[in-house]
Copies of this chain bind each other. A is one copy, B any other.
């Protein structure tokens, strides 16, 4: 198993034009809303704060237009909440007529650290191009600067890199045109009496709203793509909140529209400049098409879509079963990749086996709804199927663990196929309870 598979250059895509057209017709209308800074802030170094930076108030938002900034001056605007959209700055000169361009830097951050520490220091493996900073030369003032890219941010830092000795600038207005395809008017309320839960719900709903654009994006800041694994969870949250079922339907058609020649569905789609199936194929993500279609069908009652997309779903099961060995265990080798527990050092064989079972259960239900005899085949376990080896895990504990390498597990029968993980890289085999006690967070991550 290797992430190298992420770059499979030679895959041939066979588009389904009917599905392409259906997806296109379901393109949502984007909803725009103007929002404004709520206050001026400054960032303060504080070891106790997240990333060691906290913000504190530096003035009312209404003070911005009277703030005159010259070379080296800066101001940080706080929009009060996470925001996704473009930015418009109305800039005027103060002093003599501008005898040199304005050189302006704009930095946008979701977290205080992003408007505190210079991006030049960044040295991660993700591209620096994701960091939201722009520099503009403005030849003519006054000027309305329209920053047409879409940003994800709460804080905006405006830095005047230079003007001239004869003039400075002021920002008469800074407007964010927020964008989403989630209609807040349709939002189902959260009825919990617990204020903590209501707060968690509010943040979750905001996150979902910001991810709902022309598709469900994995993240509106990075990497703004339609990933099947993310879609599955977002769709489930959507049914309980914004109920934009057509957006889920569109995404299902998009995935079904760009299979490989053998019918395998990509892990993600690029939406621009045209829809492109990424050459990343993940064992688990392709299977999630099945459960996402079932979830959608149950939430919407849309049998037409079920019938049209069921063959695509069935094909994912068939292709996944091709990976079973003669013991009906998902084969592990360097040629594949599953995303679950995505740390590179963790082996994905066991959770992939679990996801296959999970998906086959969804497929069985879909086949029944589609009146496909394949339902019987899945129920009976005839043909290739992982039914027997996973009987205990599937029905008794429901737990599949990531595994560094297969090992016997103490206190469990048939431990040859129910594998413990050692996150520390050690091969010692801890007890279930000891493992979960030490890895509370991981426990949640490892449960399917």
Contact = CB atoms under 8 A, between A and B. Distances in A.
Interface stretch (A93-101, A195-203, A429-437): A93-101
Given A127-B163, A129-B137, A223 B100 contact: yes
A315 B165 CA distance: 32
Interface string A95-138: 01111111100000000000000000000011111100011010
A41 B129 CA distance: 27
Given A135-B134, A278-B96, A127 B140 contact: no
Contact of A129 (B100, B222, B223, B276): B100
A310 to B, nearest CB: 29
Contacts of A137: 129, 134, 149
Copies in the complex: 2
Nearest to A224: B139
Contact of A162 (B128, B134, B161, B270): B128
Contacts of A270: 97-99
Contact of A100 (B127, B161, B279): B127
Q: Is the interface of A mostly helix, strand, loop or mixed?
A: loop
A142 interface: yes
Given A135-B134, A139-B149, A149-B137, A129 B279 contact: no
A344 to B, nearest CB: 14
A122 to B, nearest CB: 9
A139 B102 CA distance: 25
A71 B128 CA distance: 10
Nearest to A104: B129
Contacts of A130: 100-101
Interface in A238-295: 270, 272-273, 276, 278-279
A9 interface: yes
B128 A161 contact: yes
Given A135-B134, A149-B139, A273-B140, A127 B97 contact: no
Given A97-B279, A134-B137, A129 B103 contact: yes
Given A100-B126, A137-B149, 17 more contacts: A6-B166, A71-B127, A96-B279, A97-B270, A97-B278, A99-B223, A99-B270, A100-B129, A101-B127, A102-B129, A125-B165, A127-B162, A127-B163, A129-B162, A134-B135, A140-B273, A141-B273
28 contacts: A6-B166, A9-B96, A71-B127, A96-B278, A96-B279, A97-B270, A97-B278, A98-B270, A100-B126, A100-B127, A100-B130, A100-B222, A101-B127, A101-B129, A103-B128, A103-B129, A125-B165, A127-B163, A127-B164, A128-B161, A128-B162, A129-B137, A129-B162, A129-B164, A139-B149, A139-B272, A140-B273, A142-B273
